[in-house]
Structure 1
Amino acid sequence: MDGQAYRDLDDARTRIGEFIEVVYNRQRLHSALDYLAPDAYEASLWLQRQETPDAIHSRENCY
């Protein structure tokens, strides 16, 4: 991870685990989320919920 120096193995495991959870997993694209990052996927869900039910229904019929 960017040439970081770690105190010991436990420090490395902790800091690398935090990096994976906080940075990597939130930025990488997930196939289960239509190849969006989790934050982008959640934002798209929020936008969909803001639409009227008629708009959502008509979009579902387009596919």
Structure 2
Amino acid sequence: MDGLAHRDIDDATTRIGEFIEVVYNRQRLHSALNYLSPDAYETGVMQLRQKTPNAIHNKENCC
């Protein structure tokens, strides 16, 4: 991303947000997420919730 490619600060802010959502969060691996990208981690969590909704949402099973 070239700093000169943006019309103004609002355009730059919008494009940075788009870059994070479209590129960075789909490619970046994060050690706290077991070396998955944030998108891959969210997908896994959603699949787990669909398979075992009571185990994840039931506070009695926690801690």
TM-score (norm 1): 0.52
Check the 8 A contact 2:28/2:37 in 1, yes or no. yes
Unaligned runs of 5+ in 2: 48-63
Tell me how far 1:11 sits from its aligned partner.
0.2
Alpha-carbon distance change, 32 to 24 in structure 1, aligned in 2, over 3 angstroms: same
1:14 aligns with 2:14: yes
State the one-letter code of the partner of 1:18: E
Letter in 2 for 1:5: A
Secondary structure of the structure 2 residue equivalent to 1:18: helix
TM-score, structure 2 normalization: 0.52
- Aligned residues: percent identity? 78
What aligned pairs does 1:1-63 form with structure 2 within 5 A after superposition?
1-2=1-2, 5-41=5-41
Q: CA RMSD in A?
A: 3.1
Structure whose alpha-carbon radius of gyration is higher: 1
- Greater helix share, structure number: 2
Structure 1 unaligned spans of 5+: 47-63
